Structure 1
Amino acid sequence: MSKFADIYGHEQIKEHLQNAIRLNKVSHAYIFNGPMGSGKKMTAGIFAETLQCERHGQEPCGTCHSCIQSESGNQPDIIWVHHEKPGSIGVDDVREQVIGDMQIKPYSSRYKIYIIDEAEKLTQQAQNALLKTIEEPPAYGIIILLTTNADTFLQTILSRCVRLDFRPLRDTLVTQYLQEKYDLTDYECRFATAFAQGKIGRAVTIATSKEFAQLKEEVMHVIRYAKEMTTAEIMAEVKNIANYKLTIDDYLDLMAMWYRDVLVFKSTKDSNALIFKDEMSLLAEQAKNCSYEGLEDILKSIDKVKLRLKANVNFDLVIELLIMAIKEAM
């Protein structure tokens, strides 16, 4: 069972939560705010398990009945709120899983703890419904909102919750975690650390996920062959990339990292600063053949794609124009 000591970094947050437990000053509502993969979910789980632990210490003991239930995901008084619609958490989700359920006293524990992941997806109606419960909770009720953007919450929600901000960690700490916990090469650690930008959970996904490895290979396919692609091949590639709509930000970030590497190597000829060291020959070839202006145009095109996709511009058209921009610049 994980403990607070297993959370890398975020020392002030850990200290705050453990002091609240020790002094019996636990709030009825928290906002854990920070980017995806920054440790919010792990911290919320450990906090909840500690609060419910029958030994009443500052860490979950791992051996009591409650801890054993928590470890197996069957602690009835720790409720992870789910939602059917991927893009929003509606008022019905909140009423059924939080507001109505909280009227029932805890089954076996001191508290009933509700953890709402992706809470930035709470609709305004859902937030308004939740507000009364946050304002007047039963003594045993605790709500933890996990979000990548606390600014989406109503001011009345923000003012009634304890907000804890999970900030990016130092790269050295992320690398240390990967080296200690996983059997990875130096290159794999370095690449995951660079891409994760201070988020340990993100780094773990990058280093261990087969899906991410496949995504990276798809990006490299376009990078390798865009220059020679015919119109028909570009259209086929666009259809293929459409399979990655849910992870298109990662796709574009990988592509941007590549062309920044090319630009850095073209400017400095220093391979030590590069992320894609395993593709050194291709990288050097593109640095030689592409102009500074061409590389800057590609990077600007990637930024434009991100903005256009957020504005719901036609996906296929935007990606087609990006590949064309790469083809022309190379």
Structure 2
Amino acid sequence: MESTTLYRKYRPQKFSDIFGQSHIVQTLSNAITHNRIGHAYLFTGPRGTGKTTMARLFAKAVNCQKNNAATAEPCLECEVCKNISAGKSLDIFEIDAASNTGVENIRELRETAKLPPSQAKYKIYIIDEVHMLSSGAFNALLKTLEEPPAHVIFILATTEIHKVPDTIISRCQRFDFTRISLENIIKKLSDIAAKEEVEIEKSALEAIAISAEGGMRDAESLLGQVISLEDKKITTKEVEEILGTTNRQSIEDLTEALISKNTLKAISLIDEVANSGFDLDVFHKSVLNYFRQILLVSIDQSLAKNFSFELTSEQIKKILDLVKITNTAEILKILGTLSEIQGKIKTSFIPQLPFEIAITEITKGLSAKIENETQAAEPPKLAAKIETYSKEIPKKEPVKIIAEVKMEEEPKEENFSNGNNSFNLSDIKKIWNEACKQITQSNQSLAALLPHSIPAKVENGVLFIATKYSFYKDKLNENSNRLTVENVFGKLLGANVKIKPLTEEEAGVKVPETRSSSVPQFGKSVENQKPKETSSLLENAADLLGGQIIE
């Protein structure tokens, strides 16, 4: 079994064997049928899309001794057809421009072109990768293209049309080869597998076709590599291991988990992929590309046709189903978050970590479990801040802090509603200083927090209090402290008040810098209050803990 040369073994011998370039086949067939053969053709397009194959077929068709005028197909039986198929024809020249770039090579070509063909009707020069010719070589070729002998046809092939001079392009009939659709590649691979008597899963063929990126030659080469396993049945897993690609089902499952905000499932999938030995960086790129496809389809479903060389009809249907349960804004958010970790997976000490962080950010706030875990993890920040304060205390004069442990009763929630439970931010600001004074009298531990807090806004009976530091927010959010504040404000306003502590970043306001030791200056309004510059970090810590400083 010549598995390594499948693309040579199954190279198309007739125009009807060509997959995916029907517009070019039709045009060339019409030219042959109506005897309107040009003297120069330019084939351009991605690698592996059939440019040199089409050139050989055209050479065979125009020189066939038993040519069928109705179909323009070569007979494959005459001596000329057999010689061209076997690569033995003396009138067909295949030149690799990459290794024949000089002026001398083109001058030699011009001399041989003057001689008539030995057997065929036309002498045909197929110059592959023509863009590799030097500037001087192009100039030498230009003269021949302008005034070619009647028995000569030039077929130039290139993957980089922008490197070919305009003077050359203008003298040729140009044909643009497109990438071959996934469906056509899979069909051709299935035919080859059947002829080779190899059983292979359909999803495995799809994986090969996707990896080929629209190139039939690449797809056939990959199939040959897979067939070399010589297994009775080739599975998708074996193909993915050879190609170094990720299981497509894992990509689709992760996508569904992110869209449905299923944090646990998404993180579990990442662990499965990592533990299976797949490259997470490659997997990340595949997931990004899949979300890109979903994004474009969510913008307009007609864009799905752009993925004919990337997705099967079944895979496109899955994307259309996903678009129905999400929206463009949500997909953009997910794409943005996933794009931020690009390049971080390779350099991370734990490859899964960037992925897990991105998953948490995408689903945060929509998963109750993650929200609770986040809130539970925040209180230790208070200890960290106190440790920072202790390091900043001067060591010249040792100071002792003796905490006075006060056995305070747990405050109870009271009802202050007088029938009119409405209040606004202006009402809060009017009583703010008095409220702070009463709160300090009933709970000394709140004395250090209040100078670093301001009323931010009122919404639906909830007072949002902005704090300077996150650990102040945590302290104020403790049940006993929160009830104390709510009861004092409720008593002063004659309404039921609920509070919601926030950091200044969360509230979107700036809390003024202050160093006041315990409570605000109650004689001034909260808007005009200015910070004192007398207290220290030590005093703040003592106030926060309800202790005294002993000299």
The TM-score normalised by the length of structure 1 is 0.67
Structure 1 counterpart SS, 2:13: coil
Superposed displacement of residue 293, structure 1: 8.8
Larger-gyration structure (1/2): 2
Q: Check conservation: 2:51, 2:177, Cα contact below 8 A.
A: yes
Task: Report the AA paired with residue 79 of structure 2.
Answer: H
Question: Structure 1: how far apart are the matches of 2:220 and 2:150?
Answer: 37
**Counterparts in 2 of 1:94 and 1:258: CA distance versus 1, 3 Å:** farther
Higher relative contact order (CA 8 A, sep 6+): 1
Q: Is it true that 1:139 corresponds to 2:174 in the alignment? A: no
Trace 1:151-170 onto structure 2 (pairs within 5 A). 151-170=162-181
Question: Structure 2: how far apart are the matches of 1:194 and 1:161?
Answer: 33
1:267-300 CA deviation, whole Å, 9 max, x = no partner?
3359xxxxxxxx994357759xx99999646755
Q: Is it true that 1:325 corresponds to 2:347 in the alignment? A: yes
Task: Report the AA paired with residue 112 of structure 1.
Answer: K
1:164-222 CA deviation, whole Å, 9 max, x = no partner?
00112221111111111224432331111111222222211222237999xxxxxxxxx
Say which of 248, 255, 260 aligns to 1:267: 255
Task: Report the AA paired with residue 165 of structure 1.
Answer: D
Question: Structure 2: how far apart are the matches of 1:326 and 1:146?
Answer: 44
Superposed displacement of residue 93, structure 1: 2.7
The TM-score normalised by the length of structure 2 is 0.42
Residue-pair matches, total:
258
* Residue 82 of structure 1: aligned partner: 96
Question: Structure 2: how far apart are the matches of 1:11 and 1:63?
Answer: 24
Say which of 205, 208, 230 aligns to 2:224: 208
Trace 1:107-186 onto structure 2 (pairs within 5 A). 107-182=118-193, 183=198, 184-186=200-202
Question: Structure 2: how far apart are the matches of 1:280 and 1:95?
Answer: 62
| Higher-helix-fraction structure | 1
Question: Structure 2: how far apart are the matches of 1:297 and 1:65?
Answer: 62
Superposed displacement of residue 79, structure 1: 0.6
Question: Structure 2: how far apart are the matches of 1:179 and 1:326?
Answer: 41
**Counterparts in 2 of 1:299 and 1:205: CA distance versus 1, 3 Å:** farther
**Counterparts in 2 of 1:127 and 1:175: CA distance versus 1, 3 Å:** same
Trace 1:169-318 onto structure 2 (pairs within 5 A). 169-182=180-193, 183=198, 184-209=200-225, 258=246, 265-269=253-257, 281-282=272-273, 296=339, 299=342
**Counterparts in 2 of 1:260 and 1:54: CA distance versus 1, 3 Å:** same
Q: Is it true that 1:65 corresponds to 2:56 in the alignment? A: no
Q: Check conservation: 2:96, 2:129, Cα contact below 8 A.
A: no
Superposed displacement of residue 143, structure 1: 0.5
Superposed displacement of residue 266, structure 1: 3.5
Q: Check conservation: 2:124, 2:152, Cα contact below 8 A.
A: yes
1:204-244 CA deviation, whole Å, 9 max, x = no partner?
1222237999xxxxxxxxxx9xxxxxxxxxxxxxxxxxxxx
Question: Structure 2: how far apart are the matches of 1:83 and 1:149?
Answer: 13
Question: Structure 2: how far apart are the matches of 1:63 and 1:74?
Answer: 15
Structure 1 unpaired stretches of 5+: 214-223, 225-250, 271-278, 302-322
Q: Check conservation: 1:77, 1:111, Cα contact below 8 A.
A: yes
Say which of 99, 102, 124 aligns to 2:113: 102
Superposed displacement of residue 152, structure 1: 1.1
**Counterparts in 2 of 1:283 and 1:295: CA distance versus 1, 3 Å:** farther
**Counterparts in 2 of 1:299 and 1:129: CA distance versus 1, 3 Å:** farther
Structure 1 counterpart SS, 2:131: helix
1:44-103 CA deviation, whole Å, 9 max, x = no partner?
111111111111331111111101111211111111113574xx733233222x212101
Superposed displacement of residue 162, structure 1: 0.3
Structure 1 counterpart SS, 2:93: strand
Q: Check conservation: 1:28, 1:142, Cα contact below 8 A.
A: yes
Superposition RMSD in Å: 3.7
Deviation larger for 137-146 or 188-197: 188-197
Structure 2 unpaired stretches of 5+: 1-11, 230-240, 259-269, 285-333, 353-551
Question: Structure 1: how far apart are the matches of 2:28 and 2:273?
Answer: 49
